[in-house]
Amino acid sequence: MKEVKIIDQTLRDGHQSLWATRMTTSMMFPVLNKINEAGYEAVDLMAMAHFDACIRYLREDPWERARIISKKLTVPTGGWMRSNNLIGFEAAPRDVVELFVEKLVENGFGRIAAFEGLLDIDNITDTLIQTKKLGASAVAAFVFCESPIHTDELYVNRVTELLTRTKVDAIMIKDAGGVLTPDRVRTLVPALKKAMGDIPLELHTHCTTGLGPLVYLEGVKYGADCIHTAVSPLANGCANPSIENLSRSLRDMNYKVNLNDRFIYEIGEHFQAVAEQEGFPVGLPMEYNAFHYKHQIPGGMLTNLFYQLEQAGLRNRFDEVLNEIALIREELAWPIMVTPFSQLVATQAVLNVVHGQRYNIVPDEVKKYVLGHYGKLIAPIDGNILDKIVENGSKMIPLKRKPLPDMLPQLRKQYPNATDEERLLRFMIKGSHVDEMKKAGPINTCYNLLKDPITKIIKTLTESKQFGYVQISNGSTKLKLG
């Protein structure tokens, strides 16, 4: 009986997809022992978006979070790196990227997945090589895209090229947009398995089109070794498929899933209670939407785009913007719709629609993309479109990207009393955010989950801005709050 391994995404992708990356360390801490007993192969914790959210919004030191969680977990803690940059669009200097990988491992990450939105192997090879040297598991994640040029042959060629340069512990198909279909899995998975030999193949998809569970079941049937899931309150919707559903289905298909269902249930119960207390949404099954395959905008970004257009009084042009995104994707050689390229394409689409003239205003990032500053493009761009972008874009952008000088000497001189971890945070997040994070003090790991209904009512009333105070009376006893 074949065993299917499970990577848990609850603490990383689950709340990134459904809770805008707002899960605090204290919300995670009460169930870490249960996660240890659940039987996961690994538990993914952070990607670059989590470093950003920890600092800007939660006022938590992401390195401290990593140390707290990884020391408590007995299974490998997973981290993600995007291409050769950290946060934002621009590539980071090589010495900064190398230091970041080193600090990930030092702070408890035993597994690092590196992915690249252009499938440019040059952008992830060094990270994977260094990860192996430092003794952590290296996972090469190839981002999936549905387009005329993203063929099975392309993915096989890129995987084969990577394996000639470095050893890895696993290959992953990363389907951030949820556009992988059961039909495509039936050809892509066997083709990759043939090229990979004995290296495990992981599948990572989302439920954006409602097909995520079927993709996993077909993927396992055709040779995938490991799938990425989340517990049900933080699964479905635009998040990953739920482990509760997948474990039942896989066992019904005579596969071994070595998980403890009791602990999975208790972990889900905890996060259901957190969602109710914090007013966070829980994931619900999505209906199939064929139009999603044209624009391929990831679910969380789709919600943000609608909100931003609504705020600008352009809600009625939402579908027009999505159609423009679909057209731009084709014109710009089918960029895979993951960060930063999904933001790049969506921004250009809004500008084209709002101003009525296509590519008259060109963001710097679009010009840099077409000139290859972010990596080699998979296919050429139409000459007329390329000329228009180059002409209307900033004249300050060179036609060829210049090599980046080392940055660490400057960072160490600029912040002489800081640790390398803090220097990296200040490099990534400009302004006063790191200072505000430090002022907040050490991370609090105690989460006060209100289980008593009366306590919940009192908390709701006292936090409401509708009332100046709340008075509770019982005979001669009176309690006034506020």
For every residue of 393-443, DSSP letters joined together read S-TTS-SSPPPPPP-HHHHHHHSTTS-HHHHHHHHHS-TTHHHHHHHT-SP
- Integer Cα distance of 40 and 8 in angstroms: 7
Same fold, 5-278 and 291-392: no
pLDDT at position 407, please?
Answer: 95
* Helices 94-106 and 125-133, packing angle to 10 deg: 40
Report the alpha-carbon distance of residue 94 to residue 403 in Å, rounded.
10
Query: Alpha-carbon distance 85 to 91, whole Å?
Result: 4
Structure tokens at 193: 């398995």
Q: Which residues does 352 contact at the CB level (< 8 Å), separation at least 6?
A: 324, 328, 358, 359, 360
> Nearest Cα to 364, choosing from 84, 90, 122?
90
In 3D, which of 190, 212, 194 has the Cα closest to residue 14? 212
Angle in degrees, CA 42, 46, 47, rounded to 5: 120
User: Whole-angstrom Cα distance, residue 7 to residue 169?
Assistant: 14
Name the phi and psi angles at 442, rounded to 5: -60, 155
Contact between 373 and 401 under an 8 Å Cβ cutoff? The reply is yes
CA atoms within 13 A on the CB side of 312: 13
Residue carrying structure tokens 């039936």:
186
Residue ranges for the chain with pLDDT beneath 50: none
Instruction: Report the distance separating Cα 287 and Cα 30, nearest Å.
Output: 33
Dihedral sign (CA 368, 374, 376, 381) = negative
* 36, burial (CB in 10 Å: exposed 0-12, middle 13-18, buried 19+): middle
Record the pTM: 0.91
The H or E element that residue 95 is part of is helix 94-106
CB 80 within 8 A of CB 48: yes
Using CA atoms, how far apart are residues 274 and 225, in angstroms rounded to an integer?
Answer: 32
DSSP state for residue 75 in the 8-state scheme: S
pLDDT at residue number 115: 94
pLDDT one-digit tens code per residue, 257-283: 999 999 999 999 999 999 999 999 999
Residue ranges of domains in the chain: 5-278, 291-392, 452-481
Residue 263, H or E segment? helix 261-278
Q: Which residues contact 47 (CB under 8 A, 6 or more apart)?
A: 12, 16, 79, 80, 81, 82
> Which of 319, 229, 337 has its CA nearest to residue 283?
229
* Encoded tokens for 71: 């020391």
183-194 residue pLDDT tens:
999 999 999 999
Query: What is the CATH topology of the domain spanning 291-392?
Result: Cyclin A; domain 1 (1.10.472)
Q: DSSP string covering 196-230, please? A: HTTS-EEEE---TTS-HHHHHHHHHHTT--EEEEB
Question: Please, what is the Cα angle at 113 between 412 and 98, to 5 degrees?
Answer: 20
In CATH terms, the superfamily for domain 5-278 is: Aldolase class I (3.20.20.70)
